[in-house]
Amino acid sequence: MTRCLVCAAPTRPFLSFGPMPLANGFLREDEFAAEEFHPLEAALCASCAMPQLVHPVPRERMFNERYPFFTASSSAMAAHFARFAADVRRRWLSAADPLVVEIGSNDGTLLRHFAVSGTRHVGVEPSANVAAVALAAGVRCTQRFFDEDTASDIAAAHGRADAILAANCFCHVADLNALARSLDILLARDGVVVFEDPYAGDILARCAYDQIYDEHVYYFSATAVARWLAPHGFELIDVARQEVHGGSMRYALARTGAHPVGDSVAALLAEERSRGLDGIAPFLDLARAVSRSREALVALLREAKSGGKRVAGYGATSKSTTLLNYCGITPELVEFISDTTPLKQGKFSPGMHIPVRPHGDFAARPPDYALLFAWNHAAEILAKERAFREAGGRWIVYVPEVKVLD
């Protein structure tokens, strides 16, 4: 029996993908032989209802100087973070000369909005290469993991934070209790923590099983977040849905009693209760849907192949690593993956070793079908690639269901 990483109660596994390579482990041919694999299995805690991985991968294996994900690679995400910054400023930054800290500040896309207006800010980012981009853009950041020592050092140097922000970061942190203690050290008495991550409710509703990969240790719901925070003296004060990353939730939390609790919190908790998100049933439904989805996608790709059609992937996302390896999609079925990130180009996808090529290759010799791995950026990409469709190219999507777009 495995125990919950948050509250140590027994957990119930609901999905097992078997051994998986690192989701962001894009690699060269001479690295194939030494590629590492870790078991990927998801479970639900019977007590705190936190959906989680059973075997979290050590953080240093994933977040290092080779981390190939840059927030600014999507223009829609850049616009989203401009709105995020404006929202934080309007709703939560009433202190004079406030301090804003972002955990997992990546290339500084969010903090830039505070830097340009002269707001005191600090980013915390363990991956050296992305942190360097933030520094070059004039964003103050410190290259390390966020833990109790980091929190104490920032508080000692700059004072306590009025707002602590995080986007697509907290779900990556295996030790959530240490994270809560670190927030407690750094947050001002009336401060607010605002974080957003992919939402369990959307993963279930959309069968977005490719959100499950090594970096995502948790699949938060408001129910699970509230139960995690309560013993640490924090409570949810606001929640807001976000469409980014395939369906996310933004949570605002504060010290218990420090701020009024918005109506959105009770409403979402009630909705989750009615959907049964604190029980195993919807997660077992997901497991069944996942296996049907694999059958449909592999059948579609085999049919394209036998019809002599060329298929290329679009966006070498971390999510695609789960999909490709679980479905066993080799370069036989998907010829190459187009991606705009220089660090991924010329390398191969983890596990299945599909070549990653610059977008120029896609544009120069468009495939018959483009398999949209970056489905969370669908609106941006379909608008940008109108010419592909006009020239007869077709999109294959698999979330919420496998189909060819007409």
Q: Which residue stretch of 35-43, 231-239, 247-255, 314-322 sits at the interface with ligand TMP (rule: CB under 6 A)?
A: 314-322
129 belongs to the binding site for ligand TMP (CB under 6 A): no
361 belongs to the binding site for ligand TMP (CB under 6 A): no
Closer Cβ to ligand TMP, 191 or 315, answer by number? 315
Query: CA–CA separation, 330 vs 305, rounded Å?
Result: 12
Task: Please pick, from the candidates 123, 315, 366, 367, the single residue that binds ligand TMP as defined by CB under 6 A.
Answer: 315
242 belongs to the binding site for ligand TMP (CB under 6 A): no
374 belongs to the binding site for ligand TMP (CB under 6 A): yes
> Could you say which of Zn ion, ligand TMP, none residue 312 binds, taking C-beta under 5 to 8 angstroms by partner kind?
none
Binders of ligand TMP among residues 73 to 112 (CB under 6 A) are 73-74
Cα 393 versus chain centre, distance: 29
> Could you say which of ligand TMP, Zn ion, none residue 163 binds, taking C-beta under 5 to 8 angstroms by partner kind?
none
316 belongs to the binding site for ligand TMP (CB under 6 A): yes
Give me the amino acid identity at 176: L
Least spacing, CB of residue 276 vs Zn ion, in Å = 17
Cβ-in-10-Å burial (0-12, 13-18, 19+) of 259 comes to middle
List interacting residues with Zn ion (CB under 5 A).
Answer: 4, 6-7, 9, 45, 47-48
In degrees and rounded to multiples of 5, residue 266 shows phi and psi of -60, -35
- Per-residue x/- track, 201-230, ligand TMP (CB under 6 A): ------------------------------
Beta bridge partners of 42: 15, 53
Beta-strand (E) ranges in 138-282? Answer: 141-142, 161-167, 187-198, 234-242, 248-255
Query: CA–CA separation, 282 vs 275, rounded Å?
Result: 8
DSSP state of 19: E
Size of the chain, expressed as the number of residues it contains: 406
**Residues 173 and 147: beta-carbon distance below 8 Å:** no
Query: CA–CA separation, 101 vs 151, rounded Å?
Result: 10
Closer Cβ to ligand TMP, 24 or 150, answer by number? 24
> Could you say which of Zn ion, ligand TMP, none residue 316 binds, taking C-beta under 5 to 8 angstroms by partner kind?
ligand TMP
Least spacing, CB of residue 163 vs ligand TMP, in Å = 24
Query: CA–CA separation, 402 vs 74, rounded Å?
Result: 24
> Could you say which of Zn ion, ligand TMP, none residue 15 binds, taking C-beta under 5 to 8 angstroms by partner kind?
none
Q: Which residues contact 51 (CB under 8 A, 6 or more apart)?
A: 42, 43, 44, 45, 200, 218, 219, 220, 221, 224, 283
> Could you say which of ligand TMP, Zn ion, none residue 7 binds, taking C-beta under 5 to 8 angstroms by partner kind?
Zn ion
Cα 291 versus chain centre, distance: 22
Query: CA–CA separation, 171 vs 183, rounded Å?
Result: 15
**Residues 13 and 41: beta-carbon distance below 8 Å:** yes
130 belongs to the binding site for ligand TMP (CB under 6 A): no
Q: How many CB atoms lie within 10 A of CB 239?
A: 22
Q: Which residue stretch of 43-51, 133-141, 263-271, 335-343 sits at the interface with ligand TMP (rule: CB under 6 A)?
A: 335-343
Query: CA–CA separation, 325 vs 383, rounded Å?
Result: 29
> Could you say which of Zn ion, ligand TMP, none residue 6 binds, taking C-beta under 5 to 8 angstroms by partner kind?
Zn ion
Q: Which residue stretch of 10-18, 136-144, 264-272, 311-319 sits at the interface with ligand TMP (rule: CB under 6 A)?
A: 311-319
Size of the residue set binding ligand TMP (CB under 6 A): 18
172 belongs to the binding site for ligand TMP (CB under 6 A): no
Residues that bind ligand TMP (CB under 6 A): 69, 73-74, 315-318, 338-341, 344, 374, 376-377, 380-381, 384
